[in-house]
Structure 1
Amino acid sequence: MEDTPPNDVVPASATSHADMSAEELVAKAIAPVKREFRCPPPIRTSDNHNDSHADVKTTEKNDGFSAPVIKEKKSKRQLKRERREEQKSALHICPAVAKSGNVNSCQYNENCRYSHDLEAFKLQKPEDLEGKCPFLDDEGPCPYGLSCRFGSTHNDNGDVGNGKIIVERKMRETNVMKKDVQKLLWKNKMKFPKADATLKLLGLMGQAKNKKFGSNENDDEILSNGSGEVNGNGCSKVASNEVVCSAKVVEEDKQDGLDVADEQGPPKKMKSLSDETCPVQISDAEQILHEKDVDKVCEQDELKIIVEHDQEDKSLKLHPREKKLIDFREKIYLAPLTTVGNLPYRRVCKVLGADITCGEMAMCTNLLQGQASEWALLRRHSSEDLFGVQICGAYPDTVAKTVELIEQHCTVDFIDINMGCPIDIVCNKGAGSALLTKPMRMKSVVEASSRSVDIPLTIKVRTGYFEGKNRIDSLIADIGNWGASAVTIHGRTRQQRYSKLADWEYIYQCARAASPSLQVLGNGDVFSYLDWNIHKANCPELSTCMIARGALVKPWIFTEIKEQRHWDISSGERLNILKDYVRFGLEHWGSDSKGVETTRRFLLEWLSYACRYVPVGLLEVIPQRINWRPPSYFGRDDLETLMASESAADWIRITEMLLGKVPSGFTFAPKHKSNAYDRAENG
């Protein structure tokens, strides 16, 4: 058997792009770069940087070509052991000691898991990076002290070495999880009086977790006829006049095919017999007395909290129609973007003109468990004047408790529930796009969540789950009645992924069918101000457009929309945007070695998208379409050529221009390997 041709062999078909006309390139979904800038794909050779997108090492074969060898995978226990050993090295200096420069400043002393050897740390510390410390303009010393990679720029007026506790900096970020809140979540002692009362009222309290996800005949019937009337007892009527109680969602789920038992929520108290029946409309006070008489396992302190909460909020409790509303109309909305849509990136987009920002999707179960990494997704910068967070959950009780938790301990303008995530690990748990096949549960999630908080609640959906079976049009008239203030429709199905362009005609259809009180936002393939103008002109009922991948490729799209022009941005201006991102990243993740490398990895993730941009001055047809594949081309200068490279090694070189040399043994593999040109994954 012949060996597979190596990656550095240029395919014969690739060299023919230089001779094709602009019309032929567009027909093949290839960006029509001007002939004088076109070039054959470069011949790559193996170097110290990994030149492929895979996290692999290379070995030389007998014929001289480099053959990839998969890097050995390590167990979680082995990785944890290596991390502990690494923490004991001199390079991992105790943060308290590094801040103050005094070995006696650590409260744990010899029990500290970090090193206190200042002299050994100074000998092994990497060289300082070029530039100035991002905290120089703050009130007080640099919070990273001796470990800061810009230590040479620190002032001599007592930044470090004085042994005093560092002055608290002016806080620019909010929604930081407090330690006492985390401990309550860890011990499962956090109280959710609003959510519990709402769930009991709707008959959704104490549902079993061993549920199955899949298609259901009742759901299909509701979707097909669009009827979702709710009677006074919290039950839904279907076309056959059969009354289906909301508490029977569990029984529906047992008929489904995909297992969602992995989603473990916080343990709940034993369900009483009364929770299995459909409740009647009673007042809050009667509801509490009913619990006291019937639910024998309910603790007295929990009842006390519910009573106190009702007494405190009785005068402030808002009617659902009196909730604060957010006007999304004509505002440019940056979509919540997994991995890349972090706080430093959102700050860049705010500078470039974004009006609304939203945090990365956070899983409800992880938030309720007090996971610090998940709570970090809720962080908000002071520059984000209109900010929301996005959460994802499968069941009404989980989502309702999460929104109440966020309202109590975070400052946000709205909460968005993701009902469109196509990722397998999310859908298999019954969350994300899987909810589109369960309209009864979808209704319960929105209704329970909206009644548990006073801040606006929005949802994000796709057109449907399966290709060719759009379903939002049958629900759009009822979504506003469930309690949602706005709905964002991504013009693709879950099964389609990015194999076709977004179906904006269907988005227009849904926007026209929605009630006037429900704002409808469109999402999909907005890549220029012309796309924005066309969608707004074709459907005046559309409130605004959400921008996702377009902002990843060119975040200055917000400027283009506001100024109504195609910005032929230079490579120097693009580099300045990257410099701003690095500065924001160092402020967010830290200016020590760990913060520098964290900033580098997230910058590399962004560059894996940004390389798809083709400068306006190089195109024969304007504007660039989001589904066009960039051919190999020369830029107008060396930096522009480097930024157009699809090689991970070149992305690393760009980061070295901003953050210095990468550590020895550094490798990078994009977290999201799928892109606009991949095939659709069947779901």
Structure 2
Amino acid sequence: MAATAPADDRPDNCPSAAAASSPPQPTPEELVARAVAPVKPAFLRPPPVREAPSEENRATGAVPLEKKSKRQFKRERKQEQESVSRLCIAVGKSGNPDACKYGASCRFSHDIDAYLAQKPADLEGSCPFTVQDKLCPYGLNCRFLGTHKDNNALSENHEINPLNKDVQKLLWKTKYKFPKASAQIKHLGLKEVIKTKANAQTEDQKADHDNLDVSCELNGDDKTESLSGPPVNLDCDSGLCEEMVKLEGEPLVGNSVPCVEPRASKKSKVEDGGIHKNGAGTHDTTTYSEDSALVNGLEVPSDDPSSCRVDLVETPHLRERKIIDFREKLYLAPLTTVGNLPFRRLCKTLGADITCGEMAMCTNLMQGQASEWALLRRHSSEDLFGVQICGAFPDTVARTVELVDNECSFDFIDINMGCPIDVVVNKGAGSQLLTKPMRIKSIVQASSAVTERPLTVKVRTAFFEGRNRADSLVSDIYDWGASAITIHGRSRQQRYSKLADWDYIYQCAQKAPDDLHVIGNGDIFSYTDWNRHVSGCSKISTCMIARGALIKPWIFTEIKEQKDWDITSGERFNILKDFAHFGLEHWGSDSKGVETTRHFLLEWLSYTCRYIPVGLLDVVPQRLNWRPPSYCGRDDLETLMASDSAADWVRISEMLLGKVPEGFTFAPKHKSNAYDRAENG
């Protein structure tokens, strides 16, 4: 689709590059061939001239940011704690200086008058809680204090999956029990390594399994993989090995586990109230002897002759489980940093059908880290929601699946086997698993057997460029226990450079069994891209939308309405305003919550600046790999939104969240290499 713009469409404040004496402009077709966005000449402007450093800066050697030492950070934290700006939460919520149960020993200020005297001015707008006739949980700390209403309504929380404090304490003490995962790992012929406070010799032996000393044999995969410390013997018993030979190739659900040599009988002991229930899940709080086995959450002594074969927890066969029909549903990909709960909530309002939480590391969840558990939070509007986890070893992933299955509300669980980040790959997780197919098998088999909810897997085409491996998984992964597989059409080495290989995704889909959902991923940026890929292969159930949703979250509306939406700057600003509102509800309306919302808004704006309005293009729709030239919009706000300068993103945030604090700086966490050549790593 091509169009030309009349000359008077150019904004008055936009000097056209075509007006200046310059060589003839390339045609839209030539620009597209060079992956440059064909913006109408009327909106083009010369690229900005970068100013050279001043003589004063050269002489002084001034740098914009100075790295602070640990001592400086410690001193600043102490000063902040002693400051009256740190008003006690209990005092701020109630307005009563005596409301804090810690009294004079509280490390926060109880001086309300001093706090209000130095508190920044209220932000424009209304408190996101009181507009819904709720009691603001932040009280005097709220940055919208002047709009608070005098009511007694209770604050209703629409977010699900908070981390229970009792569960967190059990995880800290490594006393949380995993009967299903333990039984399945034993059935696979692997011995799990569970460190407890009683047998841990050093602080280095705590729950991070990715750093545990382990030697493990996985059917020929990495015959001896020693990560650190003295090796731990994981050879299985001879009787168990003989039984495993007989059971080789059978599904690992609803089977029985042979035990070791029987000894003298000992009565099993189950205390009343030994199972502690917490919302959606259960966890065992009883203590067990060293000679007992855990089955169905009960203590069964391994030295009982009558218990030589222990029945595993009955898990329905894959075909008998709850089924999720992914076909032609709009699936928002799990996105690191930017795919937070407020952003997913925003995408739901714009038409997304399926949402998935950010990738959470298994080892961090097992340690009870509150920041990692926050990635599992779910909003009540997310009616079809999945959680995504990432781990390197079968026992770690299986125990995490059991933990999340017990304690969280979700519809499916996704295992990330495609993450390209170095810190994940170096621990053997993410896309590193593509080089270990037998470990993938063990992880899927062990994990699928401990939950009745659908299990999905996300992979890339390969680890190394030109050595595709995904097609060898799709034919077997359903039998291992997965309900769906998502294939990102790039290798780990390729990262996000070049276009996704959809021809290879189609080849993989053709090899998949009929009951396995195959989800394609890569470069969906318009409704025409969606239509082409969904209709390109009948075995493709749906497409996952990732960076396309970051750059223009209204892509879900475009697909449902089958149009290229020439959205105005005012409509885009209202979407940003909705995100800010959702962010204040999620992170809080006090000063800390406002700045957290600002941080994630700025991270998102580092992507939205790549959007080029439909009315400015000679060729529609925009492709994801097009490099935008320097151009100006149809109004000042549209021009501001097109800027790739962090200073302009901060200006937009100030329009929504007020002035930034003194000394504020921002640098985006993620820098896409979508325009760069493939990395060699």
Alignment partner, residue 122 of structure 2: 128
RMSD: 3.3
Alignment partner, residue 270 of structure 2: none
SS in 2 for 1:436: helix
> d(CA) in 1 for partners of 2:664 and 2:183?
52
2:169 counterpart (154, 160, 183): 183
Alignment partner, residue 221 of structure 1: none
> d(CA) in 1 for partners of 2:606 and 2:264?
58
- CA change 1:93–1:211 in 2 (3 A) is closer
Matches within 5 A, 1:138-537: 138=132, 140-157=134-151, 168-206=154-192, 248-249=217-218, 252-253=221-222, 274=237, 278=241, 280=243, 287=257, 290=260, 293=263, 299-300=288-289, 303=292, 306-308=295-297, 317-537=315-535
Residue 193 of structure 1 deviates from its aligned partner by 0.6
Tell me whether 1:20 sits opposite 2:26 in the alignment. Answer: yes
- CA change 1:646–1:261 in 2 (3 A) is farther
- Contact 1:260/1:429, CA 8 A, preserved across alignment: no
AA in 1 matched with 2:63: V
Can you list the C-alpha shifts for 1:660-683, whole angstroms capped at 9, x where unaligned? 010000000000023421333322
- CA change 1:207–1:250 in 2 (3 A) is farther
> d(CA) in 1 for partners of 2:664 and 2:415?
37
Residue 77 of structure 1 deviates from its aligned partner by 5.6
SS in 2 for 1:104: coil
**How many residue pairs are counted as aligned between the two chains?**
611
Deviates more, 1:373-382 or 1:111-120: 111-120
> d(CA) in 2 for partners of 1:42 and 1:640?
17
> d(CA) in 1 for partners of 2:605 and 2:264?
59
Residue 110 of structure 1 deviates from its aligned partner by 1.8
AA in 2 matched with 1:278: C
SS in 2 for 1:634: coil
- CA change 1:78–1:680 in 2 (3 A) is farther
Alignment partner, residue 218 of structure 1: none
AA in 2 matched with 1:418: N
AA in 2 matched with 1:180: D
Alignment partner, residue 614 of structure 1: 612
1:31 counterpart (30, 37, 43): 37
> d(CA) in 2 for partners of 1:210 and 1:388?
24
Alignment partner, residue 304 of structure 2: none
User: TM-score normalised to the size of structure 1?
Assistant: 0.83
Percent identity (aligned): 64
> d(CA) in 1 for partners of 2:632 and 2:217?
62
- Contact 2:565/2:614, CA 8 A, preserved across alignment: yes
SS in 2 for 1:573: helix
Residue 355 of structure 1 deviates from its aligned partner by 0.3
- Contact 2:254/2:315, CA 8 A, preserved across alignment: no
Matches within 5 A, 1:48-59: none
> d(CA) in 2 for partners of 1:148 and 1:344?
19
> d(CA) in 2 for partners of 1:408 and 1:600?
34
Alignment partner, residue 202 of structure 2: none
User: TM-score normalised to the size of structure 2?
Assistant: 0.83
- CA change 1:610–1:102 in 2 (3 A) is same
- Contact 1:463/1:490, CA 8 A, preserved across alignment: yes
> d(CA) in 1 for partners of 2:361 and 2:373?
10
Alignment partner, residue 553 of structure 1: 551
Alignment partner, residue 585 of structure 1: 583
> d(CA) in 2 for partners of 1:522 and 1:108?
54
Can you list the C-alpha shifts for 1:587-606, whole angstroms capped at 9, x where unaligned? 00000000000000100000
SS in 1 for 2:323: coil
- Structure 2 segments unaligned to the other structure (5+ residues): 1-16, 195-207, 248-252, 267-286, 301-310
AA in 1 matched with 2:27: S
1:96 counterpart (69, 90, 93): 90
SS in 2 for 1:426: helix
> d(CA) in 2 for partners of 1:15 and 1:602?
43
AA in 1 matched with 2:218: V
Residue 92 of structure 1 deviates from its aligned partner by 1.0
Alignment partner, residue 112 of structure 2: 118
> d(CA) in 1 for partners of 2:518 and 2:143?
47
> d(CA) in 1 for partners of 2:367 and 2:157?
26
- CA change 1:453–1:631 in 2 (3 A) is same
Alignment partner, residue 46 of structure 2: 40
SS in 2 for 1:388: strand
Residue 261 of structure 1 deviates from its aligned partner by 5.1
Can you list the C-alpha shifts for 1:139-197, whole angstroms capped at 9, x where unaligned? 54210000100001011447xxxxxxxx6421200000010000000000000011001
Alignment partner, residue 568 of structure 2: 570
Matches within 5 A, 1:657-676: 657-676=655-674
- CA change 1:630–1:286 in 2 (3 A) is closer
Tell me whether 1:105 sits opposite 2:94 in the alignment. Answer: no
AA in 1 matched with 2:545: I
Alignment partner, residue 593 of structure 2: 595
Residue 503 of structure 1 deviates from its aligned partner by 0.2
AA in 1 matched with 2:574: N
